[in-house]
Structure 1
Amino acid sequence: MEITRFAPSPSGLLHVGNARTALINFLYAKKHKGNFLLRIDDTNASNTSKEFCNAIFSDLRWLSIEWKDLIFQSKRTQIYKHFAQYLISIGKAYPCYETKEELEQHRQLCLVNKLPPKYNRASLKISQDKIKQYEKEGRNPYYRFKLDNVKLEWNDLVRGNVSIDTTSLSDPVIIKEDGSITYLISSVIDDIEYSISTIIRGEDHITNTAIQIQMMQAIGKQIPQFAHISLLRFQDSKISKRVGGHDIQSLKNKITPLVLTNFLSQIGTSDNVTLYDSVDQLTQHFDLRKLSTSNTQYDSTTLARLNKQHLKLLSYSQVQSLLNNKLNISEKFWDCISGNVSYINDIYLWHDIIYVKPVQHSITLDQHYLKQTVELLPEKITETTWKEWSENISKVANQNGKELILPIRVALTGLTHGPSIAKLLQLMTRDEIVDRIQIQIAVTQNKTEG
């Protein structure tokens, strides 16, 4: 059975890149009728928090990602130490005594001599007397895993044949001076013990994979399949305040979860992003082999287009559910603004414009024309009000098209674009319409007198 996993560290908010990795792992397991595990890398207590952990849970659930098992690495410390001791006992891990300063000196010397800054295994050559001296000085050993200097190859499910020459790599640290276990070895042990069959992660882990394959071989366990997906590249030179940042929390009030799951799981393929109606439907069309090894572009313009397309298709009840009781809107209100909403928070914006006050603007309006529109406004506001009003304005003020519509739109909303005025009028009382136009007349008059 296929078993995949996602292993975030609760040291910050879930980023769209991490969310994409989680989503691809989840869809791959679901596609193959397998299990998806969530593993929390919380071994570094000083750098993690319960709040970030809960935020990760919330964000994954929001994206409809469900997990079969939940694992906290902080609760498995003794298991990691047991396996680390086993590697020491078979000679695959060895103690080291260099200080950080000494290691840095060696690194700088390598760079000066134009050599790769690789650890030189000096601790394998020190005598027992020297070790005793270090211990008297209060030096605690840290431990490195001894790599075999070989060329490692594997068939990557995304990248095809991958080859890493481990002779160019430093022996990785698996136990720190304080006795804590590092990510490299704890991850291997978890993947072994939970029978992870396919490890899908970012291309920045390719070198780690070569190291971890050797660790698995040393422990004597079966090697899982690996798939290394390309990292996200952001086209936006700056993060838009309106669209938000690149963490899931900042997108929740803007993008619908269904749009984001469709977007994140399909970018990086040769296919155009298609808006599937459900996660089940998305799973049916998901194919890991479609993922490209080239840079994956995170294009916020495409994301916004998909989101607008999806929001426009939502029914009134679906929008109410999406707002989660944070804002009560009428069906007539949604019918009015639905074609002018790109993001969820646009619903709040239009609610404020229509029911609170227009957006501030610097457009100078013709006060004589506005006075005429007030005089010609019908007494009752109905579905036919705009037709009657605009026809009267056209006859009396001799205005048509943009010249007729724009001043009224700006007076009512503060914007030069927006919903149908015919529908907009039905959301306001006659007094409210008159008041907004009168305010614009006063503003224009003040500008003229000023």
Structure 2
Amino acid sequence: WLGLDWDEEVRQSTRLDRYREAADRLRAAGRLYPCYETPEELELKRRLQRAQGRPPVYDRAALSLDAQERGRLEGEGRRPHWRFLLDRSTAVAWDDLIRGPQHVDPGSLSDPVLVRADGSFLYLLPSSVDDIALAVTHVIRGEDHVTNTGEQIQLIEALEAVPPAFAHFPLLRGAGGAPLSKRAGDLSIRALREGGAEPLAIVSLLACLGTGRSPEAVRDLDELVAQFDLGAFSRSSAIFDPEELDRLDARLLHHREYEEIAARPEMAGVTRELWEAVRGNIGHLAEVQDWRRIVEGPIEPVIEAEDRDFLARAAELLPPVLDKEGWRAWTAALKKQTGRKGRALFRPLRLALTGREAGPEMAALLLLIGRGKAQARLKGEKA
């Protein structure tokens, strides 16, 4: 829906043999070791470390187990999970394409679990194996994965491959400054789509958040690709403001040609003339159907008591030809005969003809409504 397609589909469920082979290579190299602690035992260790003012880092107790002790634990029914042995002799450093030079001290990290006791794999091993196999050149993600990067670089190097380039975006914040959360369901792509957001407005906004550029709606993704530069993004958190998205939606629609959107489901029954008349006054495409119903009718005209005589006279003076010249001549005659002008002249006409206080240019709408319906509405009749 967003126009973001993929070049290849990769299913990890069909690549399990690759992950097992990689795990075997790590075991043979002494970089993957078995651990037998239960979740409860690990939690107790972490609590004790915190109580002593130490970081909750795995103590590598399993490395001191000999074959006899491992056999005893397995005889008790314990099945090992497998941890990757981090090299703690030096910091892991990389040049992040957004954050600049970065380093992680492996001594501050627990050796990550790569294989669960049931033989299934956690995120780190499959993602690293796939990055190598697919020749991934760039990993672009949120800054909450910066710590993972040190582990991932060591793991890829342990598999005798060259790590990709990494870029970590600051996490988005809402208009109030609070971090965006997965619980903010109204900002999911599904919710935005159901709410009428334009896909190009979404990608236009996301592509410039954090760059300092003012968001501008683009006509296609190629335009965004040409503008994209990782070096333009700030390390500071960007603000995602739904109101800015609404403004982009509206600007995008205001310049959309009929041919570009005629096939959209929201455009069912909408003519070129109607689209060109109303596109400058809608915020979401679905709103065009509101104006179609107003033009086609029937609607109840809104007539205030003090305007009845004025509107009756307007019905009498309605010209036979309802084009822009006809609109100008009609309103000029009304102004001359009733003495009304400005809001007192135009507001009652709009309310009677459309039932709304505001909207598109009335000259264009009047032509679409037609003389018969217009005359009936001016007389207070449903039409």
Identify whether the pair has TM-score above 0.5, normalized to the shorter chain: yes
Deviates further, 335-344 or 178-187: 335-344
Cα distance, 1:222 vs structure 2: 1.3
Paired position in structure 2 for 1:164: 104
Question: Tell me, which stretches of 5 or more residues in structure 2 are unaligned?
Answer: none
Paired position in structure 2 for 1:39: none
1:32-66: CA deviation from partner (whole Å, max 9, x where unpaired): xxxxxxxxxxxxxxxxxxxxxxxxxxx3xx32x34
Paired position in structure 1 for 2:39: 100
In structure 2, C-alpha distance between the alignment counterparts of 1:355 and 1:108, rounded to whole Å:
70
Cα distance, 1:246 vs structure 2: 2.1
In structure 2, C-alpha distance between the alignment counterparts of 1:237 and 1:409, rounded to whole Å:
41
Paired position in structure 1 for 2:124: 184
Question: Does the 8 A contact of 2:270 with 2:289 survive in 1?
Answer: no
Question: Does the 8 A contact of 1:353 with 1:359 survive in 2?
Answer: no
Cα distance, 1:291 vs structure 2: 1.3
Alignment partner of 1:309 is 2:244: no
Paired position in structure 2 for 1:345: 286
- Amino acid corresponding to residue 246 of structure 2 in structure 1: A
Paired position in structure 2 for 1:207: 147
Alignment counterpart, residue 78 of structure 1, candidates 12, 17, 20: 17
Alignment partner of 1:376 is 2:314: yes
Paired position in structure 1 for 2:56: 117
1:386-410: CA deviation from partner (whole Å, max 9, x where unpaired): 3344234334443211122223323
In structure 2, C-alpha distance between the alignment counterparts of 1:326 and 1:387, rounded to whole Å:
30
Cα distance, 1:265 vs structure 2: 1.5
Cα 1:186–1:371 change in 2 (3 A) is same
Deviates further, 87-96 or 408-417: 408-417
Cα 1:368–1:430 change in 2 (3 A) is farther
Question: Does the 8 A contact of 1:370 with 1:407 survive in 2?
Answer: no
Secondary structure of 2:135's partner?
coil
Cα distance, 1:94 vs structure 2: 1.0
In structure 1, C-alpha distance between the alignment counterparts of 2:137 and 2:152, rounded to whole Å:
14
Question: Does the 8 A contact of 1:412 with 1:436 survive in 2?
Answer: yes
Cα 1:422–1:399 change in 2 (3 A) is same
In structure 2, C-alpha distance between the alignment counterparts of 1:277 and 1:368, rounded to whole Å:
48
Cα 1:136–1:354 change in 2 (3 A) is farther
Q: Which has the higher contact order (CA 8 A, sep 6+)?
A: 1
Alignment counterpart, residue 318 of structure 1, candidates 260, 263, 269: 260
Alignment counterpart, residue 136 of structure 2, candidates 189, 196, 206: 196
- Amino acid corresponding to residue 161 of structure 2 in structure 1: K
Paired position in structure 2 for 1:137: 76
TM-score (norm 1): 0.75
In structure 1, C-alpha distance between the alignment counterparts of 2:243 and 2:381, rounded to whole Å:
34
What aligned pairs does 1:228-307 form with structure 2 within 5 A after superposition? 228-235=168-175, 245-252=186-193, 254-307=196-249
Question: Does the 8 A contact of 2:137 with 2:165 survive in 1?
Answer: yes
- Amino acid corresponding to residue 234 of structure 1 in structure 2: G
Identical pairs, percent: 33
1:264-285: CA deviation from partner (whole Å, max 9, x where unpaired): 2222113223444433333222
Cα 1:285–1:359 change in 2 (3 A) is farther
In structure 2, C-alpha distance between the alignment counterparts of 1:87 and 1:357, rounded to whole Å:
74
Secondary structure of 1:120's partner?
coil
Alignment partner of 1:68 is 2:7: yes
Cα 1:119–1:413 change in 2 (3 A) is farther
Secondary structure of 2:210's partner?
coil
1:1-56: CA deviation from partner (whole Å, max 9, x where unpaired): xxxxxxxxxxxxxxxxxxxxxxxxxxxxxxxxxxxxxxxxxxxxxxxxxxxxxxxx
Cα distance, 1:156 vs structure 2: 1.1
Deviates further, 229-238 or 153-162: 229-238
Secondary structure of 2:239's partner?
strand
Cα 1:357–1:234 change in 2 (3 A) is farther
Cα distance, 1:77 vs structure 2: 1.0
Alignment counterpart, residue 415 of structure 1, candidates 351, 356, 367: 356
Question: Does the 8 A contact of 2:209 with 2:238 survive in 1?
Answer: yes
Cα 1:326–1:81 change in 2 (3 A) is farther
Of structures 1 and 2, the larger Rg is shown by: 2
1:83-115: CA deviation from partner (whole Å, max 9, x where unpaired): 012112221111111111222222222222232
Cα distance, 1:355 vs structure 2: 3.1
In structure 1, C-alpha distance between the alignment counterparts of 2:294 and 2:378, rounded to whole Å:
14
Question: Does the 8 A contact of 1:411 with 1:440 survive in 2?
Answer: no
- Amino acid corresponding to residue 208 of structure 1 in structure 2: N
Cα 1:236–1:410 change in 2 (3 A) is farther
- Amino acid corresponding to residue 131 of structure 2 in structure 1: D
In structure 1, C-alpha distance between the alignment counterparts of 2:199 and 2:140, rounded to whole Å:
22
Question: Does the 8 A contact of 2:26 with 2:158 survive in 1?
Answer: yes
In structure 2, C-alpha distance between the alignment counterparts of 1:137 and 1:436, rounded to whole Å:
87
Cα 1:425–1:99 change in 2 (3 A) is same
Secondary structure of 2:34's partner?
strand
Question: Does the 8 A contact of 1:94 with 1:144 survive in 2?
Answer: yes
Question: Tell me, which stretches of 5 or more residues in structure 1 are unaligned?
Answer: 1-58, 442-450
TM-score (norm 2): 0.87
In structure 2, C-alpha distance between the alignment counterparts of 1:359 and 1:271, rounded to whole Å:
46
- Amino acid corresponding to residue 339 of structure 1 in structure 2: G
In structure 2, C-alpha distance between the alignment counterparts of 1:236 and 1:371, rounded to whole Å:
51
In structure 2, C-alpha distance between the alignment counterparts of 1:395 and 1:428, rounded to whole Å:
25
Alignment partner of 1:401 is 2:339: no
- Equivalenced residue count is 372
Alignment counterpart, residue 227 of structure 1, candidates 145, 160, 167: 167
What aligned pairs does 1:355-374 form with structure 2 within 5 A after superposition? 355-356=296-297, 366-374=304-312
